[in-house]
């Protein structure tokens, strides 16, 4: 064994020698001999400059540790309700942050003295998220009301308020989730058991939700008009059996009047998570329908949708568009307006540019509209802005005088459809339509289906005719994926 020799691998020996040389060279460099860091000079470069800012923040995270403000860890038995309130807010944030992008938060803050978590009854917090599916921004508030909210009578301060801003809607839809660390066990032979059958929140807590929803109102900048702004209010209470609670009256009431309760514990968050996803993806119409509407609302909206105050007229040739824009008018044969009463309620004229006539301009669909300042019934020969076709001089026409033509930011495209002569629609639909077939939607039910489908992606409205003004009914509302409503 003493005479045994080892074979040497020359390639491996050269690699080891090279690595050893490189390590020796690095060890001789000055930047590694920094010694102990006893002090870090704070400058604007460290605090503001990209790269340096991140290094400085990580330095604070490593060196300063975690400091939790407001005695959060000093909890006694009487603080369990407050601890549950903290947990509810943080758990709602956790459920939201799994599916939606967190844009801003002010709970965890870092400064030169350390990391601070500010969450107590004297503090306010706000989390801001973005829905990656449609870009909508929404916020979760803790212990405060969104700006503009007020209580003209007694001050109200719910625990958590979720504020949703929907695309194509100026309104904000707000929902209260109030943590109540109370459970009625529904013991045998108790009034609660006889009324509700299973454990649930206290009746007084449900009454508080009614008060929140009715007492908190929104005021515009002028302050002249107040509107009820809370669309729903719900109790979060400690109970584990979600399946059983779905039969409870206070869960079923959510669908009926948008006031009720959710069981909410670490292993019982399914009902709450599903509901959050549902209201975030709601269309503005469905969000509105969740609230209890005043009596007469249906008639009001039937009048609103039925009030066809926009005339969409087709153009015979490209030159007609130039003349209409130049002289601020539009004319149409009186015979094409079958119901003359419509003339008294028309407020706008829009111009439809067909693909056949305007494709060379690369401008098709509805681009221009304007408010009507006057209209008159004239013989065609009296409309001098545009020469009459031979034989039409004595025909009756309606001449609309336009105050100013306005170009839409986004045109209403044909989408494979056209307008033969005239189409009537409401300004409400005209402002929201992306394709001309959508201007044919006339009922509240069709509108709701269309808006819900469009939030999930492109939508096609199926009609019984290629010319929208000649179509008599809506056959279906179909998403790009082929799902029909």
Domain CATH for 254: 3.40.91
Confirm whether 447 is domain-assigned: no
Confirm whether 464 is domain-assigned: no
Choosing from 417, 434, 451, the residue where a domain stops is: 434
Domain CATH for 321: 2.30.130
Q: What is the DSSP string of 148-205?
A: TEE-SSS----SEEEEEE-TT-S-EEEEEEEE----B---TTSHHHHHHSS-B--HHH
DSSP 295: T
- The full 3-state SS of 105-155, as one line of letters, equals ECCEEEECCEEEECCCCCCCEEEEEECCCCCCEEEEEECCCCCCEECCCCC
User: Alpha-carbon distance 89 to 98, whole Å?
Assistant: 15
User: Alpha-carbon distance 30 to 12, whole Å?
Assistant: 30
Greatest distance between any 2 Cα atoms in the chain: 128
DSSP SS3 for 459:
strand
Confirm whether 207 is domain-assigned: yes
Q: What is the pLDDT along the chain (485 residues), one digit of tens a residue?
A: 455 566 778 888 888 888 888 888 877 765 555 555 555 555 555 556 676 777 777 766 665 555 544 444 444 444 788 888 888 988 999 999 999 998 887 665 555 554 455 555 555 678 899 998 888 889 998 877 666 555 555 556 777 889 888 876 777 888 999 999 999 999 998 999 999 999 999 999 999 888 887 766 554 444 445 556 688 899 999 999 999 999 999 999 998 888 999 999 998 999 999 999 988 888 776 766 666 655 555 554 554 545 788 999 999 888 999 999 999 999 999 988 888 878 888 999 999 998 888 887 888 999 999 999 999 999 999 998 888 888 888 999 999 999 999 999 999 998 888 888 898 998 888 888 888 888 888 777 777 777 777 776 777 888 888 888 888 888 888 776 545 54
* pLDDT score of 148: 53
* pLDDT score of 216: 64
* pLDDT score of 23: 84
Same domain, 268 and 306: no
Q: In terms of DSSP bridges, do strands 348-353 and 149-150 run parallel, antiparallel, or are they unpaired?
A: unpaired
Q: Which tokens in the block code for residue 349?
A: 């004229």
Contact 439, 468 (CB under 8 A): yes
Structural domain count, the chain: 2
Using a 10 angstrom Cβ sphere, with 0-12 exposed, 13-18 middle and 19 or more buried, the burial of residue 350 is buried
Same domain, 210 and 280: yes
* pLDDT score of 27: 75
User: Alpha-carbon distance 247 to 461, whole Å?
Assistant: 38
- Sheet (strand 217-219) strand order: 149-150, 217-219, 226-228
With a CB cutoff of 8 Å and minimum separation 6, the contacts of 279 are: 162, 164, 173, 175, 232, 287, 290
With a CB cutoff of 8 Å and minimum separation 6, the contacts of 114 are: 60, 64, 65, 66, 67
Same domain, 92 and 237: yes
Same domain, 335 and 216: no
Same domain, 265 and 323: no
User: Alpha-carbon distance 463 to 225, whole Å?
Assistant: 41
Confirm whether 388 is domain-assigned: yes
**Enclosing domain of residue 121:** 77-292
Backbone dihedral region of 158: left (phi > 0), alpha (psi from -120 to 50 degrees) or beta?
beta
* pLDDT score of 344: 83
Contact 418, 435 (CB under 8 A): no
- The full 3-state SS of 257-269, as one line of letters, equals HCEEEEECECCEC
Same domain, 106 and 247: yes
Confirm whether 473 is domain-assigned: no
Distances from the Cα of 235 to the Cαs of 161, 230, 419, 426, in angstroms?
12, 14, 52, 40
Same domain, 250 and 314: no
User: Alpha-carbon distance 83 to 252, whole Å?
Assistant: 28
In 3D, which of 354, 271, 279 has the Cα closest to residue 312?
Answer: 354
Same domain, 133 and 255: yes
Confirm whether 209 is domain-assigned: yes
- Sheet (strand 259-263) strand order: 101-105, 125-130, 137-142, 160-165, 172-179, 230-237, 259-263
User: Alpha-carbon distance 292 to 315, whole Å?
Assistant: 45
User: Alpha-carbon distance 172 to 391, whole Å?
Assistant: 56
Same domain, 274 and 338: no
Q: What is the DSSP string of 224-284?
A: S-EEE-EEEEEEEE----HHHHTTSHHHHHHHHHSEEEEE-BTTB-HHHHHHHHHHHH--H
Contact 309, 369 (CB under 8 A): no
* pTM metric for this prediction: 0.55
Same domain, 309 and 335: yes
* pLDDT score of 328: 93
Same domain, 95 and 232: yes
User: Alpha-carbon distance 321 to 444, whole Å?
Assistant: 34
User: Phi and psi for 411 in degrees, rounded to 5?
Assistant: -70, 155
Contact 372, 346 (CB under 8 A): yes
Confirm whether 18 is domain-assigned: no
- Sheet (strand 348-353) strand order: 329-333, 396-412, 365-379, 348-353, 310-314, 422-425
Confirm whether 70 is domain-assigned: no
DSSP SS3 for 336:
helix
Same domain, 202 and 315: no
Contact 134, 152 (CB under 8 A): no
């Amino acid at each position: 064994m003493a005479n045994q020799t080892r074979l040497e691998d020359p390639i491996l020996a050269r690699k080891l020698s090279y690595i050893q040389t490189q390590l020796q060279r690095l060890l001789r460099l000055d930047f590694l001999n920094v010694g102990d860091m006893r002090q870090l000079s704070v400058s604007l470069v460290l605090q503001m400059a990209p790269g340096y800012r991140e290094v400085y923040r990580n330095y604070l995270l490593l060196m300063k540790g975690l400091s939790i403000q407001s005695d959060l860890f000093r909890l006694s038995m009487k603080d369990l309700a407050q601890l549950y309130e903290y947990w509810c807010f943080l758990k709602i944030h956790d459920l939201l942050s799994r599916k939606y992008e967190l844009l801003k938060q002010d709970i965890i803050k870092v400064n030169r003295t350390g990391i601070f978590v500010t969450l107590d009854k004297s503090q306010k917090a706000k989390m801001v998220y973005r829905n990656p599916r449609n870009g909508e921004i929404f916020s979760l508030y803790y212990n405060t009301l969104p700006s503009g909210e007020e209580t003209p009578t007694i001050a109200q301060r719910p625990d958590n308020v979720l504020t949703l801003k929907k695309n194509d809607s100026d309104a904000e839809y707000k929902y209260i989730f109030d943590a109540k660390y109370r459970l009625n066990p529904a013991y045998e032979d108790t009034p609660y058991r006889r009324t509700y059958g299973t454990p649930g929140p206290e009746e007084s807590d449900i009454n508080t939700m009614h008060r929140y929803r009715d007492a908190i109102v929104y005021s515009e900048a002028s302050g002249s008009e107040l509107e009820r702004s809370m669309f729903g209010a719900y109790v979060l209470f400690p109970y584990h059996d979600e399946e059983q609670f779905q039969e409870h009256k206070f869960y079923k009431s959510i669908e009926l009047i948008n006031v009720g309760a959710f069981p909410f514990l670490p292993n019982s968050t399914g009902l709450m998570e599903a509901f959050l996803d549902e209201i975030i993806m709601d269309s503005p119409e469905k969000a509105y329908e969740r609230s209890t509407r005043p009596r007469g609302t249906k008639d009001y909206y039937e009048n609103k949708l039925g009030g066809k105050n926009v005339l969409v007229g087709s153009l015979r040739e490209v030159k007609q568009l130039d003349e209409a824009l130049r002289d601020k008018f539009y004319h149409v044969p009186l015979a094409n307006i079958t119901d003359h009463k419509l003339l008294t309620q028309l407020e706008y004229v829009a111009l439809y540019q067909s693909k056949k006539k305007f494709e060379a301009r690369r401008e098709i669909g509805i681009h221009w509209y304007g408010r009507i300042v006057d209209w008159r019934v004239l013989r065609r020969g009296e409309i001098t802005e545009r020469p009459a076709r031979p034989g039409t001089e004595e025909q009756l026409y309606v001449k609309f005088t336009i105050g100013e033509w306005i170009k839409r930011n986004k045109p209403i495209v044909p989408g494979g459809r056209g307008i033969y002569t005239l189409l009537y629609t409401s300004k409400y639909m005209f402002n929201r339509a992306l394709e001309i077939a959508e201007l044919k939607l006339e009922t509240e039910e069709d509108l709701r289906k269309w808006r819900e489908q469009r939030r999930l992606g492109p939508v096609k409205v199926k009609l019984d005719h290629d010319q929208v003004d000649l179509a008599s009914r809506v056959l279906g509302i179909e998403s790009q994926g082929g799902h029909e409503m």
